[in-house]
Amino acid sequence: MNPTTTTESILKLAIQKSGRLHDDSMKLLKECGIDISNGINKLKSEATNFPLEVYFLRDDDIPQYVEDGVADIGFVGENVVYEKAKTVAIADKLGFGKCRLSFAVRKNETFDGPATLQGKRIATSYPVLVQKYLDENKVQAEIQEISGSVEIAPGIGLADIICDLVSSGSTLFMNGLKEAEVILQSQAVLIKNSGISNVKQAILESLIFRIQAVKQAKSSKYVLMNAPNEKLEAIEKLLPGMKSPTVLPLAAEGWSSIHTVMTETQFWNIIQNLKELGAEGILVLLIEKMVP
Ligand code: ATP
Ligand code: ZN
């Protein structure tokens, strides 16, 4: 067999089969230029143009599979990584699946710090993380582990307080609850098995290189503007960026076009000053990939 096609030279990636992380995981691979047929009804699928095989699993199982080496790497929420406490390394943050693990109380109740939890019944799908919080704060409480729909627990009398994942807070609100205290900020991360071969490590590095180029591009914008030549120096002073901007003469006498890259926040911070200095025809464009 051709050595380049042995399983040893294919990196095995576990992603969520369906759920909140599935689409963003597939999208990230696509943005990295990796083509995979959608495997929603399949256990695994091989990339056609990158040495990668994708396994579709329940997110809760991903840390275990990666620890065991059944998969070499996985895309999974930090919340699951810490709850499962498996021996895996976090190799990169992926920038999607952002949420927080928070205590929530009935909306007419108050939460005055960890002491509020003393002697209470807490419903959660994250018993390990909640117990750790209780221990750190020297509080005793009873944990009711439930696997889903934690937000209904106070309403049906199963618990006084819940600890659950929150992103917008609308699920809590609809169930008459309010967020009281954040115990973990989470996003999807790339985890890896601690003993992968050098060949697989090299494939992983090229995957991470692509992921970083995609992430970098997402946080940056390509900004173009026209400006009178006598204001160029003042405008250049305002512009952030790694290198000096590109300045090209316009057909109109005494005017130039300035091209530069900045974050969206930087853009909003300086836009007013740019206009005051005479910049006009300002365009802000999406960047697809960015390699510093
Ligand atoms: P599975 O069937 O794979 O076990 P699940 O029901 O446990 O799926 P999802 O609800 O799809 O999991 O959530 C997957 C991950 O998405 C969470 O572990 C978390 O990292 C992330 N996430 C982001 N925002 C939220 C949110 N508002 N609520 C729940 N999870 C969120
Ligand atoms: Zn799950």
CA of 82 to the centre of ligand 1 (A): 14
* Beta carbons within 8 Å of 198's beta carbon, 6+ residues apart: none
Q: CB 189: neighbour CB atoms within 10 A?
A: 22
What integer pLDDT is reported at residue 90 of this predicted model? 97
pTM: 0.90
Q: Ligand 1 center to residue 190 CA distance, Å?
A: 16
Query: In angstroms, what is the span from residue 21 Cα to ligand 1's centroid?
Result: 7
Pocket lining: 97 vs ligand 1, CB cutoff 6 Å: yes
The atom of ligand 1 lying closest to the CA of 20 is: 11
What is the whole-number distance in angstroms between the Cα of residue 28 and the centre of ligand 2? 20
Tell me if 61 CB under 6 Å of ligand 1: no
Q: Counting atoms of ligand 1 from 1, which one is nearest the CA of 186? A: 20
Which ligand 1 atom is at minimum distance from the Cα of 147? 7
Query: Using a 6 Å cutoff on CB, does residue 60 contact ligand 1?
Result: yes
* Calpha distance 256→199 (Å, rounded): 49
Cα–Cα–Cα angle for 229, 235, 241, rounded to 5 degrees: 125
Best residue for ligand 1 mutational test, from 15, 21, 94, 167 (most atoms within 8 Å of Cβ) = 21
Please, how many CA atoms are within 13 Å of residue 133, restricted to the half-sphere of its CB? 26
Q: Which ligand 1 atom sits closest to the C-alpha of 57?
A: 3
Strand order in the sheet with 73-77: 44-46, 52-57, 11-16, 73-77, 188-192, 89-93
Two structure tokens written together for 245: 């901007």
Tens digit of each residue's pLDDT, the chain (292 residues): 444 456 679 999 999 999 999 999 999 999 999 999 765 568 999 999 999 999 999 999 999 999 999 999 999 999 999 999 999 999 999 999 999 999 999 999 999 999 999 999 999 999 999 999 999 999 999 999 999 999 999 999 999 999 999 999 999 999 999 999 999 999 999 999 999 999 999 999 999 999 999 999 998 999 999 999 999 999 999 998 657 799 999 999 999 999 999 999 999 999 999 999 999 999 999 999 988 8
Do 230 and 253 touch, CB atoms closer than 8 A? no
Q: Which amino acid is at 67?
A: E
Q: Which residue from 61, 75, 99, 128 has its CB within 8 A of the most atoms of ligand 1, so it is best to mutate?
A: 99
Q: Ligand 1 pocket, 129 CB below 6 A?
A: no
SS (H, E, C) the chain: CCHHHCHHHCEEEEEECCCCCHHHHHHHHHHCCCCCCCCCCCCEEECCCCCEEEEEECHHHHHHHHHHCCCCEEEEEHHHHHHHCCCCEEEEECCCCCEEEEEEEECCCCCCCHHHHCCCEEEECCHHHHHHHHHHCCCCCEEEECCCCHHHCCCCCCCCEEEEEECCCHHHHHCCEEEEEEEEEECEEEEECCCCCHHHHHHHHHHHHHHHHHHHHHHEEEEEEEEEHHHHHHHHHHCCCCCCCEEEECCCCCEEEEEEEEEHHHHHHHHHHHHHCCCEEEEEEECCCCCC
Q: Sketch out the chain's domains with CATH numbers.
A: 7-96+187-217 (3.40.190.10), 99-186 (3.40.190.10), 220-286 (3.30.70.120)
Q: Which pLDDT score, from 0 to 100, does residue 39 have?
A: 57
What is the pLDDT, as a whole number, of residue 3?
46
